[in-house]
Structure 1
């Protein structure tokens, strides 16, 4: 996953305004080679005089590629302003409002599908009332020792498939303490409820802080991702192998193990490093602040693939140790550092 392709990040849900009628959307349009005021006016069903008035221009003024003009787009007289939130993609927004991605891109003069949290998009509502969703009761269930996906499905009269899809599970393996959003007496696919970010990153070099309770709902057992050491920039691929108090992770290949070994003078419980975890879940790119312990322990079935007989501990905010169930001040501090603090 390339850092420069990370477009979507996490923030609190916020929807601006309500439906506006009989009002044309004013968009920002970037002038392209070959454009004239007349061509632009025809594309957006407006007039040259309206364009010049909005931009304090004369009709004889020269426009140039790269210039940004305010355009009153009369092609879409009804719209709502929508503020992008964590997890949004153009495709998800288009489904929600029963329109096309091209409709959104055209109205907002977007040249790519990349959007960012806090960005305000004008959503055309010619056909864009949110699609009706059948009412379904859900519950957030905390997994206990001995639980299986099948058992939880039976408990709430739903299906294994619904639980796996609703909670974006990479595998149908559950860990004690894990929270599942479960439809009750229904097999309907719904969004996970209650996943929140604790603190967003200061810039893209760092990671967002999610508490362990929330991080493990995004980064689920079997999920693959990339760890980047904050200090050295060394990156390697890993998989969430298991673990309930924190994530037990393993490097995927011999090459990944070799890169990981560069971070630690020797394997030791005392070596803990701030790292950034990146992964894709449900079509959304995530970038989380974490802390890694440089000590393989126990055993895994990955030895032939990665050359290391054991797994490593990856801590998120409020993760605790396996045996004593204690917070590590060093890991907590590392996570704040990995957030940019």
Structure 2
């Protein structure tokens, strides 16, 4: 069967060129046709083997090359993860995460592998917190959704006494913190700093969620902002 390189392709600027698998296709032929490799197609489409089926849509652009980083990377779902927490942490929307992984709903399970944007996560598992005047181990544990016992264990503390200025390793429970995103309409007098303060987040996080390269915003502009539990601050 004669195949044309441009046959039944659909261009998507964000995710690359898609190809609908035809009868008789295999990943080796498709990889050669689109100047890529089987390994890259498997990674790009989150495949567990080289088997493909007629009618299946696969991404074929060679988004991985020696001059650039991968567009997507693999993420293994952990306990308490949600589509919202994963998407937010990697600078995506839940819809983008679902589409990339060909998912029809938001159900995920521990150990499942998902493709996410190749962004450094906004939140990491652990941070170092500098103790301030008035802090107690209880207030710090409450602020970061963790426990006194966890803080003591991570920092080899034998008591609950803290000293101003000391650094504490804090393990974050990211899925508990992030409850999704919402839209905010910029009002007169707003700045990225004031909006970040209203939503208990940071200017950098808002810039990243909205692909902003500067701090300039305009009245009426809609911005994606995080929903954070109980108005607590996490940065």
- Shorter-chain TM-score tier: 0.3 to 0.5
- Whose radius of gyration is greater, 1 or 2? 1
Structure with greater helix percent: 2
TM-score, structure 2 normalization: 0.38
